[in-house]
Structure 1
């Protein structure tokens, strides 16, 4: 299996004034003349940490990371309750990506995203298909109302005791309605204790529903009160609006991805974002391959999912990259909450489907 690439530092970074009072942090690392690749982090609100840099061959890629509005090193910070989120939508983020591409003088780039980053990557690629060379996506989600309802209510059938605590955090009169809306209201409450309780319980539930694979460890970032508040505010803001996208639009518009090679990697144990979303997308995106990992869940916390993503970025790199032996074993991921050797499987309608497992 391919190793994570060694840690690297940016050779350039800055902030981009994207309007509406927002300054977006960006950085580039790897080879300044390499193939451009853009990272779209998850959340919304997770920020683009250094782990992402290690998914690319630094000799072959010019790796671009940025913190989406309201999080990471971008300002203003959504952890501050006075920060308005009115100008923080998927459409704003797509415009930010295009502004950053122009600022860096990039004609076309590979786009990689995980979880929420998949939703954003698909929305961007369908809006600007001529600017995307390939898509590498893992933990595929569309942030639809159906998916949001699954995570915030239906998943209570799998984790009944934890979900009861999640539900009972909101006022009793709101427990039968939209829990996302109820949490969003609590996160905007003038009482800091109400805001802090809502952020803590939201992030606790996040740790529960992504914890289905062996060896999962809780996300240490949730120990930081400001990260909790930032993350919970941004997630509920986007989820209450179904990602600011028409329901089903990413699947309906998937024909716009024609000609864009893609790899989608998804864990069969991912109950946070069940694999049916990725499978349905594979049926309507003929240039994509779907790799299903049998014993792993959400994100890049397992070896096989990480390996499949590395294999994809290695496949798409130019010939000037590093030569590596396929027998090399992966390093243990040390980045954000993110085991199995992929084997050849059957092909499905649309893109190819491969199953992996241990």
Structure 2
């Protein structure tokens, strides 16, 4: 195995693009970010492999635009593992595939017991991949050679994996299903930004008063501003647990905040004025945030049995029926039908709740045609069974 180099200059980049364009077959693509280290989710390394061309490792911050690479391979099939994790950062630099083959998703559809890249490569090719650098800080420069070897192997075997999986999909008669799922990943719209992103604060449910919630909000927002400014992961400045501790303590003086032992983190004392100002804003807030915000979806299922027994019966009857159908198809239940889709139609079924109308409801939620064909009739029958069971229980209280 030779020494790998990172391409970070315009001349080298164009030479690499020409070599990739002259290659043949699908193009394996991967991206490495610095999650947990940086605030942004940008790519800090992009790996590309094509038969007849070899492996190329690109430095996105140094290169900037990838227009010529996009022009060379944009219409080819791209092979990615867990494509949904990388498409956003690839699109950020101008790399956007027209067609994909997602080896992680294919592994799920084939019912492989483990779907991480390492286990999949070992299962299909008999090659053991070391994954010790998966959580590395890829914004590091220069990147160590061991990391580059790891990154290169992430794409070097991916086309071989794709070919082996394609054969298994044909044998399992799942080629059409896989194509529909790949297209769904490619066309999926990004989630809209949360109205109150600060409510993602880990452990927020332990807050007991609106005043504490206001302090937690101001601390979270202040940490987020600093994290953006420094391009550092927020938790590396002050962890969530420390923000919660400060919010619950409701310190009345800067010194109280400084003396709070649970308020830790690399920026907890160096930016103390910043945090104290946030606490003061929370204490002075006159329009306190609500403890709970209404959800557009159904309430948590744990409360259905007592408050909404009809919906609970429908869901409890349909779940195992859908799971049994997934078992027959040899795939995880969540790949046969998104659990939230089933919850929503059980909570508010269409009328009449027959296969046709349930199928239409599932389609409106984003289910694919093959998923509807495999589940709509099963769900409709389950709802009838649930309704009958409730009627029987009412007529025979004993």
Q: TM-score w.r.t. structure 2 length? A: 0.25
Q: TM-score w.r.t. structure 1 length? A: 0.26
- Give the structure with the higher percent strand: 1
Structure number, greater radius of gyration:
2
- Give the structure with the higher percent helix: 2
